[in-house]
């Protein structure tokens, strides 16, 4: 995805429209994108700065190409590329040594005079001798830790120029969601997949059953989140490519753009194509670690990451896990990470509504002091959700229901 400063969009009568390259209007971008791909595929050993200059030069004669569009395309190529970086800090150490050696001879001049005796070329040659390499090599190595001077190893993506242009269109739509106060998705198909990935992306959301086959998911946007706004905005934007792989949905987001409020609408009719060939089945690291530690079975309990969803009237609740005991007992687990007062209140009302269902609520410890009791069964955890305390609560809840 792209940073905010590379967002390109227009607002017409209160509707935001992300920049989009189409076959009808931008057919000439296909050969330009092909040349960009060739630049990166054949650019091993060149610095990021050199690649960017060469890429900008390819579009220099195109009057229909704002600088942000070129920078966005280059950013997407960078994200799909592997660069050589200065992991062990050699560049920093070399830079400090060169500065220390040069400081004793300052100021440097092109031609010595009565006041200043240190000729620049001679000082550079002397420093090169002391560090044991030729000066051009010193200049190249002493800034190798800066992103502009990272050297390309290989490009790992975009088989065709069309793939790069399609990714650009999705990335611009994603970037608009960084300004979202609220996003509503109406799903008529693949809604379980949408529920699952909303949870896995750590998005604050409420689900309403419009009918047996239509659900409305209301997401709290990054602009409305109190903490970790940047991270949360990235999570919301990362959700969009998954949504694009689904069918029969509509998205409507309320944006607080720098120029004011606007609405952003999207649906399969817009024909944005995800770079994901199939829905990504990844989990959060916290959930993955917990499932691995729990194993296939513990004390008669089995754990399911997708335990289905609970429906009561128009209200829907999708817990993170369901635990099933050999005696038939079922307990759900809900994990609370991101939060706002409004979200907590809505979650509390949901838990009250499903009070007859055994639900264990786990809350991250760094939020626990600020979070009032959400439910009778509540567990606080730190960096990781540990198996032992969860099992203790599960067994206590099972005993209480006998």
The first and second tokens of residue 311, run together, are 């429906």
* Angle, vertex CA 379, rays to CA 378 and CA 382, nearest 5: 145
Work out the average pLDDT over 192-212.
81
Residue 307's pLDDT is: 62
- Top-confidence residue, 225 or 156: 156
Give tens-digit pLDDT for 310-346.
888 778 888 888 999 999 999 999 887 666 677 777 7
What's the pTM? 0.73
Orientation of helix 161-176 relative to helix 29-41, angle to 10°: 100
Mean of pLDDT over the chain: 86
Nearest to 393 by CA among 305, 298, 308, 296: 298
Q: Is the pLDDT of residue 49 over 50?
A: yes
What is the DSSP-derived secondary structure letter of residue 177? G
> Is the distance from CB of 264 to CB of 16 less than 8 angstroms?
yes
pLDDT in the model for residue 306: 63
Q: What is the pLDDT of residue 372?
A: 64
Other Cβ atoms within 10 Å of 139 Cβ, number: 12
The pLDDT of residue 280 is 44
Lowest-pLDDT choice from 45-54, 82-91, 160-169: 82-91
From CA 217, how far away is CA 220, in angstroms rounded? 10
222-266 pLDDT, tens digit each:
777 655 566 777 888 888 998 999 999 999 999 999 999 999 999
What 3 state SS string does 38-97 have?
HHHHCCCCCEHHHHHHHHHHHCCCCCCCCHHHHHHHHHHHHHCEEEECCCCCHHHHHHHH
pLDDT of residue 131: 87
Average pLDDT over residues 126-140: 88
pLDDT tier, 151 (very low <50, low <70, confident <90, very high otherwise) = very high
3-state class of 4 per DSSP?
helix
- Residue 327: is it exposed, middle or buried by C-beta count within 10 angstroms (0-12/13-18/19+)? exposed
């Amino acid at each position: 995805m792209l940073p905010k400063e590379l967002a390109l969009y227009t607002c017409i009568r209160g509707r935001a429209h992300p920049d989009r390259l189409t076959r009808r209007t931008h057919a000439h971008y296909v050969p330009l994108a092909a040349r960009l791909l060739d630049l990166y595929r054949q650019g091993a050993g060149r610095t990021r700065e050199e690649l960017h200059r060469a890429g900008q030069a390819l579009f220099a004669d195109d009057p229909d190409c704002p600088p942000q569009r070129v920078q966005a395309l280059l950013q997407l190529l960078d994200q799909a590329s592997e660069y050589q970086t200065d992991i062990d800090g050699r560049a920093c150490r070399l830079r400090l040594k060169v500065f220390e050696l040069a400081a004793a001879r300052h100021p440097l001049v092109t031609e010595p005079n009565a006041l200043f005796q240190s000729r620049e070329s001679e000082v550079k040659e002397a420093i090169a001798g002391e560090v044991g390499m030729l000066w051009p090599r010193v200049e190249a190595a002493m800034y190798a830790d800066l992103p502009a001077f990272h050297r390309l190893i290989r490009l790992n993506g975009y088989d065709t120029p069309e793939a790069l242009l399609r990714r650009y269109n999705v990335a611009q739509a994603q970037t608009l969601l960084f300004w979202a106060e609220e996003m509503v998705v109406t799903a008529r198909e693949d809604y379980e997949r949408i529920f699952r990935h909303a949870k896995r992306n750590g998005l604050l959301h409420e689900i309403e059953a419009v009918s047996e086959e239509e659900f409305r998911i209301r997401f709290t946007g990054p602009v409305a989140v109190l903490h970790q706004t940047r991270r949360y905005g990235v999570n919301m934007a990362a959700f969009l490519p998954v949504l694009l792989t689904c069918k029969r949905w509509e998205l409507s987001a309320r944006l607080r753009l720098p120029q004011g409020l606007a609405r952003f609408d999207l649906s399969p009719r817009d024909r944005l194509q995800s770079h994901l060939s199939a829905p990504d089945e990844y989990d959060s690291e916290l959930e993955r670690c917990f499932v691995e530690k729990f194993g296939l079975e513990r004390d008669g309990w089995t754990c399911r990451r997708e335990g289905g969803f609970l429906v009561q009237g128009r209200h829907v609740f999708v817990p993170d896990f369901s635990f099933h005991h050999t005696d038939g007992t079922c307990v759900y687990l809900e994990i609370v990470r991101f939060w706002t007062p409004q979200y907590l209140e809505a979650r509390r009302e949901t838990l009250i509504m499903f009070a007859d269902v055994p639900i264990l609520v786990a809350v991250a410890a760094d939020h626990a002091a600020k979070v009032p009791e959400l439910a009778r069964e509540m567990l606080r955890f730190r960096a990781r959700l540990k198996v032992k305390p969860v099992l203790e609560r599960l067994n206590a809840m099972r005993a209480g229901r006998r």
